[in-house]
Amino acid sequence: MVINIRVIKSAETLERVLCIMTLACRPLVSSELGILAKLDYPKEVLGLIQSCASFLTVQGQTVNFVHKSAKDYFVDRETVRLFFCSAKPPE
């Protein structure tokens, strides 16, 4: 799944969104996620969430992982090393 995400044109933005969601201590409202990821709200935020449908879901305006195991996947030490170490901070 992670490899498929990297192939998408906006891979760096998707990585940033998944990193923000992984580090968040609670589900985020889509506008909060948009601000933290420096995205245009609402089109870009919702489009990216749809691209991450294997991991993220939207209920109302709240963005959350589809399941705790999806978040745990990104918290896993090996996944963090492989996935997030290549992510570049936003400019």
Domain boundary assignment for the chain: 11-81
Going from the C-alpha of 47 to that of each of 41, 42, 56, 80, the distances in angstroms are: 10, 8, 11, 24
Looking at CATH, the fold of the domain delimited by 11-81 is given as: Arc Repressor Mutant, subunit A (1.10.10)
- The structure tokens listed for 78 are 């090996």
**Ramachandran area for residue 60 (φ above 0: left; ψ -120 to 50: alpha; else beta):** left
pTM for this model (two decimals): 0.71
Q: Cis check for the bond before 27: say yes or no (omega within 30 of 0).
A: no
How many residues does the structure list for the chain? 91
Other beta carbons within 10 Å of 24 = 16
pLDDT digits (tens, 9 = 90+) for 40-58: 766 778 888 888 888 999 9
pLDDT digits (tens, 9 = 90+) for 5-36: 544 547 778 888 888 888 888 999 988 998 88
